[in-house]
Amino acid sequence: MVQAVTPALRDWIVEQTVAGFAPEAVLAAMVDAGWETDLAAVALEDTLREHLRRRGPVGATPPAPVAQTANRQPMGAGALAGRLPEIARDGAQSLLDLGDRRVAVLASLSSPRVVVLGGLLSADECEALIEAARSRLARSLTVQTLTGGEELNPDRTSNGMFFNRGESDLIRRIESRIARLLNWPVENGEGMQVLNYPVGAEYKPHFDYFDPAEPGTPTILKRGGQRLGTLLIYLNEPERGGGTTFPDVGLEVAPQRGNAVFFSYDKPHPSTRTLHGGAPVLAGEKWVATKWLRERIFE
């Protein structure tokens, strides 16, 4: 079957959305009709973006809190409104003035959206984060997608902890800087996580969004909606190994103290090509801080 995105299909997608059907319901109908999931998702997203650009928001209600079904969840605010955390740049601007610090743009990809940043944190700030986190470390957990809770996962062999949002002057200063960098409200971010990877520790490739097909996802989304972006900050430099890999695009970012890598994902789907992992530490240890950005206020 040749699957072509025709004008008639685009008109149908817009009609369904204007009629009040949530995007996940429209996507499900396309898949049920025989469309490949990846192609259907791209067609749906492109059509709604173009419609929004021409005519403004569809329907009478905001797109973020769309109706939920038992097995499917909203594609995310970004999929409808085009609103994602993003690094604003003026043309070929290579230095970003964040008020309290100038940060370099070292490299970027457009698809997937990945930006490598230089000097987001100072050496003193990196060391202060490490020392504040050290006594609070415990074996890292991952989200338990069946229940919405947490669990030990053999794919993730680091130790970690979470700071409460705004819990100290240091955390508030860094969170404010991140908010300016990504044009995203502080309150729409999870608390900053700090991780320590000893020799041999790694985090195998994974996605950061919450899988809509998992039964625990509705519980997770109640706290602030989907994750839309990830900022990973390197707090030290391991002697060997420990890079951040993006297998789908053949990219590996080397850990350099104070540098960071940001990536965003406009829908909870592998077509975003944001599969990523932490390569094993081969010598020394690795310290990183992670900030996840949500659709809405994270509570």
User: Cα(296)–Cα(293) distance, rounded to whole angstroms?
Assistant: 9
Which band of pLDDT confidence, cut at 50, 70 and 90, is reported for residue 90?
Answer: low
What pLDDT score was predicted for residue 17? 74
What pLDDT score was predicted for residue 9? 84
Which residue type does 205 have? P
Determine if residue 181 is left, alpha or beta; phi over 0 gives left, psi from -120 to 50 gives alpha, anything else beta.
Answer: alpha
What pLDDT score was predicted for residue 64? 29
What pLDDT score was predicted for residue 37? 81
193-197 and 159-162 strand pairing: antiparallel
Higher pLDDT, 77 or 294: 294
Tell me how far apart the terminal alpha carbons of the chain are, to the nearest angstrom: 46
Q: Are 237 and 255 in contact (CB under 8 A)?
A: yes
Higher pLDDT, 248 or 68: 248
pLDDT in tens, 158-181: 789 999 999 999 999 999 999 999
pLDDT in tens, 29-79: 888 778 888 788 888 888 887 776 665 433 322 222 222 222 333 333 333
Kindly report whether the peptide bond that precedes residue 218 is cis, defined as omega within 30 degrees of 0: no
What pLDDT score was predicted for residue 141? 57
Residue of 82, 87, 86, 119 whose CA lies nearest to 104: 119
Q: What is the mean pLDDT of the segment spanning 227-247?
A: 97
Per-residue pLDDT at 143 exceeds 80: no
Per-residue pLDDT at 187 exceeds 80: yes
> Rounded to two decimals, what is the model's pTM?
0.70
pLDDT in tens, 269-282: 999 999 999 999 99
Q: Are 192 and 178 in contact (CB under 8 A)?
A: no
- Helix, coil or strand: residue 2: coil
